[in-house]
Structure 1
Amino acid sequence: MTRNFDLNLLKVFEAMVEHRSVHGASRALWMTPEAVCDALTRLRHELGDPLFIAGESGLVPTSRAMELSPELLSGMKHIRRGLKPRHFTTGAMKRTFRLAVSDDIAFLLGSVVQKAIGASPLACFEVHHMPGIAPLRALHSGRLDVVLGRDLCADGGGVLRSARLCVEEEILVARRGHPLGGGLVSELQLAAYPRAAIARGCEGGPVGRQELSAARFPPVLVDSYTLLPALLAATDLVAAMPRSAAEVALRAGCISPIHCELPPRSSPIDMVWHVRSEGDPCMNWLLDELGRIGGSAGAHDPSEHHGSPQGEIA
């Protein structure tokens, strides 16, 4: 091994041990497969061993690689630990957080933003409306830090992480004084009135109870929950809205709940982030705060972080 050994090659070795493939390592390191192959060639030359050879289920570490692995991986952990800030305080948090959300769950952000601003005047937030961007690609490129949405699916090649924040019920709503108000409504009664729903491709829609599909009228489609209250207030339309989104309009008094004999539908709220964020203490703070807010929001059901990616969200 030469005296000017490139320590960056150890990151490639670490990724190859974990993923046992060039493509897996390239996704984890955010490098091209060609760059990983080049680094692996240099590493083999430096250490005088093939290190990884073809096997039945991918590349298999040689005995030399297995011998080196514990010491090298332990060394990488020590280096990362040594580079972490010793004393992280929110008061010194100088960071711009970039998030994408659907408008119906923006309620999750309010207390987090307020807490960050109160703790550190240097903390900034950029909040994007999710239908206007491609969240998966934005997470990969680093243009976004976190995506919040309903039942998110992300096939991130092993570099995206996700967590279920909560599960939220939908409620039926209509204008104040609507003929369906004031009592328990049957499916047949409900089908007699026109409905409003979120258009497919917007906010993960269409969103609405299954019974609304039996309505006698074609639905009025909108692309945002923020448009629904004003539309409902001036018509006889009925809509299903997530409880958190409906409560704002209910408090304003422009719409009222409709009580239906059929059980409400529930939808999960997830957050997705890139694995590179996990070394950032500011990002760890944000993820913890979002998880805490999600777990305490009404009739929500938080669960543990789960690292296995799901299907695409773009």
Structure 2
Amino acid sequence: MNFDGFDLNLLVAFNALMLERNVTKAAAIAGVSQPAMSAALSRLRRVFNDPLFIRSAEGLLPTAKAQEIAVPVAEALGQVRNLMNPTHIFDPVTQARSFTLGLTEYPLHVLLPSLTQKLALLAPNCSIHVRYFTDRDETVPLLDAGKIDIAIGVPPTKAENRILSHPLLTDDFVTMIGRHHDVAEKGIDLKSFVAMRHILVSPEGNHYGLVDQKLREHNLVRDIGLTLPTMFSVPALLPGTDFIATVLSRVATHTANQTLINVFTPPIELPTITFHLLWHRRTQENPAHQWLRQVINDVAAACQT
């Protein structure tokens, strides 16, 4: 293809490089040889007067210019594909695809088991790769880089118009304590709550959390005796100890230790937490991605009821 002297096949090469961050892999998905892909990259650099990709230990890293043009290029190619093949659909039964999901701890435990089972039935030739992340703001660079196809987690602190999302699953906080504890049967008020030793869950390694923020509004400070990076490990640590923990309710329902713990409504008001499905605008019209997003929606809806 040629448009005013510009070879539009260079955009195909750019998109492949943006997705794979590797010349050899990009050449494979673009259907050209490695030397041809290297030559295309050289031409792209001359056209845009920018290096576009810088070599690193992690592969080719896109420059600011590459990130700027990545979404328009992907959207333009998607429109051309739809024009050339308007009836293109994704058949999960017969087609083989590989998807990479970016998951935080909560969806990893709550959604992935059911999602894996459903995908095994609906798409026997598809494979799923999971990339675990802890910082909500990792979502944008991971999607930008094409290192993940879809993310499930709490939305990033800063909204980006190239990252699309919608609410997927909600949960509320509960307070848990070992059933052996002397307050396990009678419940707990705010004064007793603050006086007890607490487990704080912080994937980022902080020593201050949402509960502490709310307590500060009442000029209260709790005693934190243990910090953990994961919330689903909490129920196993409560029996036989004096610790108390405030975590999302499905942590309690997804543990084998349910008979060993008691669960209460926290004696302080805490917000409902909403987990979102997030994806990059460049995959918005991709039939395979649309299908996968719908499957995830269905699985989350079943979990919510």
Please report the TM-score for the alignment, with normalisation by the length of structure 2.
0.66
Secondary structure at the aligned position of 1:90 is classed as coil
Shift of 1:169: 0.6
Measured in 2, the distance between the counterparts of 1:97 and 1:154 equals: 25
Match of 2:123 in 1: 120
AA at the equivalent of 1:102? T
CA RMSD of aligned residues (A): 3.8
AA at the equivalent of 2:263? P
Task: Determine if contact 1:164/1:271 at 8 Å carries over to the other structure.
Answer: yes
% identical aligned pairs: 16
Match of 1:238 in 2: 244
AA at the equivalent of 1:148? I
Shift of 1:136: 2.3
Please give the residue correspondences for 1:128-207 in structure 2 after superposition, counting only pairs within 5 Å.
128-131=131-134, 134-156=138-160, 158-199=161-202, 201=204, 206-207=209-210
Match of 2:113 in 1: 110
Shift of 1:237: 0.9
Secondary structure at the aligned position of 2:209 is classed as coil
Deviations 1:71-114 (A, max 9, x none): xx99x857524335534322024112211212122212222221
1:271 matched to 2:274? The reply is no
Task: Determine if contact 2:163/2:279 at 8 Å carries over to the other structure.
Answer: yes
Please give the residue correspondences for 1:7-46 in structure 2 after superposition, counting only pairs within 5 Å.
8=8, 38=47
Question: Which is greater in Rg?
Answer: 1
Please report the TM-score for the alignment, with normalisation by the length of structure 1.
0.64
Match of 1:255 in 2: 261
Measured in 2, the distance between the counterparts of 1:94 and 1:87 equals: 13
Deviations 1:193-245 (A, max 9, x none): 11111126269x83547566635423421111132122222411111111122
Task: Determine if contact 1:149/1:270 at 8 Å carries over to the other structure.
Answer: yes
Cα separation, partners in 2 of 1:278 and 1:260, compared to 1, 3 Å: closer
Cα separation, partners in 2 of 1:239 and 1:175, compared to 1, 3 Å: same
Measured in 2, the distance between the counterparts of 1:222 and 1:95 equals: 36
The runs of 5 or more residues in structure 1 that have no matched partner are: 12-34, 40-72, 300-314
Match of 1:282 in 2: 288
Task: Determine if contact 1:162/1:270 at 8 Å carries over to the other structure.
Answer: yes
Cα separation, partners in 2 of 1:259 and 1:90, compared to 1, 3 Å: same
Number of residue pairs matched by the alignment: 244
Higher relative contact order (CA 8 A, sep 6+): 1
Task: Determine if contact 2:189/2:267 at 8 Å carries over to the other structure.
Answer: yes
Match of 1:82 in 2: 84
